[in-house]
Structure 1
Amino acid sequence: MDRKMTESQRAYEAKRAAKNGVSLDKWLQSKEQEKKAATEAKLPPAPAKPPGFFSRLMDRAHKPIKSKI
Structure 2
Amino acid sequence: MKNNQSKDPLHGITLQKIVEQLVGFYGFDTLAEIIPVKCFATNPSVKSSLTFLRKTDWARKKVEELYIQSLPKF
- With the length of structure 1 as denominator, give the TM-score of the two structures: 0.28
**Structure with more contact order per residue of length (Cα contacts < 8 Å, sep ≥ 6):** 2
More helix by share: 2
